[in-house]
Chains A and B, each alone.
Chain A
Amino acid sequence: MSVLWYLCPYDISSASGRVTRRCAMSRHIPSVPNADGAIWEEAEILGNHAAVKVSAPDAVHLTIQADVDFLLLPLDGTTPVPVRAVLRSKLNALGYTDVELDATGWTRRELLRAITSVRQDILGPNATRDGVLFGGRIPAGKSSNDIDRRLAG
């Protein structure tokens, strides 16, 4: 088992007239407990995405990393400069500013604290009830610290 962090989107469905957001980690680890012993915890962030901590066998991680919607976060410590560019681009696209990203010192711990402190407000289903109307940023209901308390490693 290894423990890694990812960024991934929420999948949105509208079966039976109900608009539902589901963390895309469900594509690869739909239920817990499971035969692989894989578990995960997510925290919503901006841009209809989540930061997700996953404890799973390497084979499961490889499957996750093959999904183009998932971005593997660097291991703990200071993020190498080449990796920062990729992360910055992704997080800018989700709604985070360079100022707030640079303020983290680019350590994974501080970066996770910063990005999981806010999420997108949800204003309701769209007019055709097959999507979500998002508002501005609001305080998040679950932080990276909450995740670390629930999933060690």
Chain B
Amino acid sequence: MAFPTTGILDNFNRAAEDPLSDGGKWSNPLLSGQGSLEVTSANQCAELDVNNGSAYRSNQTYGPDTEAFITASTVGANDEDASLYLRIRQVGAGTMDAYGLSAIKLAGTDEWTFSRVDNEVFTVLGAVITQEYSNGDSIGYEAIGSTLTAYYLPSGGSWSALGNRTDGTYPDAGFIGLEIRLSTFRFDDFGGGTVVMQEISATEAFAASMTEGIAGFLVSIDVTGDE
């Protein structure tokens, strides 16, 4: 299935803004004890006030099948990380639940980790995935049913899946959000929303039914047409 299926929600192309708001569509922070994100005068999303900042699109929930993506215009220094969150719920002091994907800059190969967040405790799901990323690359995250998938888009390239994990703890729709830990990262073009399932045309469905020898499909079409 293609990724992403949704468009950009915020390109940050507006006057400097602190905290990040977009007319009230963002709320800050997502995680207790953190600072707000903001829009810089260079039309990028950043965290400039304290070490860690986070925000989430609070104007509507998405899903349950959900995706989010963002471009790292400038990646952080070693040990800094950027995270995307899906199916966020119960935002508050020590109460937030979600699924997270963190891309951590390291002196060695960068590491990507999946997490389930229960009341702000992070449980890493499975082993770390190693994938270097640099300025202009994008990070993507998708939750379909109980499958969580990480995506990577090199600048000028195309999206590819890095790996996936399974967890069915939080199956419902929720908010999507973003976190910057430490403050060198600059982001652009945050997107996402409810995954748009690919529609199959009537012609494709008919061809598929003939291929699979489902005679009943043809009969049901005729009956429906007569009525």
A20 and B129 CA atoms in complex are apart in Å by 17
Q: Is the CB of B122 within 8 A of A16?
A: no
Shortest CB–CB separation between residue B37 and chain A, in angstroms? 17
A132 and B116 CA atoms in complex are apart in Å by 14
Shortest CB–CB separation between residue A119 and chain B, in angstroms? 9
* Interface of A: prevailing SS: strand
Q: Is the CB of B166 within 8 A of A146?
A: yes
- Smallest CB gap from A33: residue in B: B130
A150 surroundings in chain B (CB, below 8 A): 166
Within 8 A of A (CB), among B142-172: 146, 163, 166-170
- Smallest CB gap from A10: residue in B: B123
B132 at the interface (CB under 8 A from A): no
Give the interface centre of A16, A40, A142, A146 by most chain B CB atoms within 10 Å.
A142
Q: How many chain B residues touch the partner (CB < 8 A)?
A: 28
B122 surroundings in chain A (CB, below 8 A): 18-21
B121 at the interface (CB under 8 A from A): yes
Q: Is the CB of A124 within 8 A of B168?
A: no
A125 and B129 CA atoms in complex are apart in Å by 26
Q: How many chain A residues touch the partner (CB < 8 A)?
A: 31
Shortest CB–CB separation between residue B163 and chain A, in angstroms? 8
B111 at the interface (CB under 8 A from A): yes
A26 and B123 CA atoms in complex are apart in Å by 13
- Smallest CB gap from A43: residue in B: B166
Q: Known contacts A10-B123, A44-B123: does B130 contact A31 (CB below 8 Å)?
A: yes
Q: Quick one: which of B52, B166, B167 contacts A16, CB cutoff 8 A?
A: B52
Q: Quick one: which of A31, A122, A123 contacts B123, CB cutoff 8 A?
A: A122
Within 8 A of B (CB), among A23-37: 23, 25-26, 29-33
B126 surroundings in chain A (CB, below 8 A): 23, 32, 40-42
B51 surroundings in chain A (CB, below 8 A): 16
B127 surroundings in chain A (CB, below 8 A): 25-26, 29-32, 39-40
Mark B residues whose CB is within 8 Å of A. 33, 51-52, 94-95, 111, 115-116, 118-124, 126-130, 146, 163, 166-170, 181
In the A-B complex, list the 7 residue pairs whose CB atoms are closest, starting with the nearest. Answer: A141-B169, A124-B119, A122-B118, A32-B127, A31-B128, A141-B168, A141-B167
Mark A residues whose CB is within 8 Å of B. 10, 16-23, 25-26, 29-33, 39-42, 44, 121-125, 132, 141-142, 146, 150
Known: A30-B127, A31-B111. 4 other contacts (CB 8 A): A30-B128, A31-B127, A33-B130, A41-B126
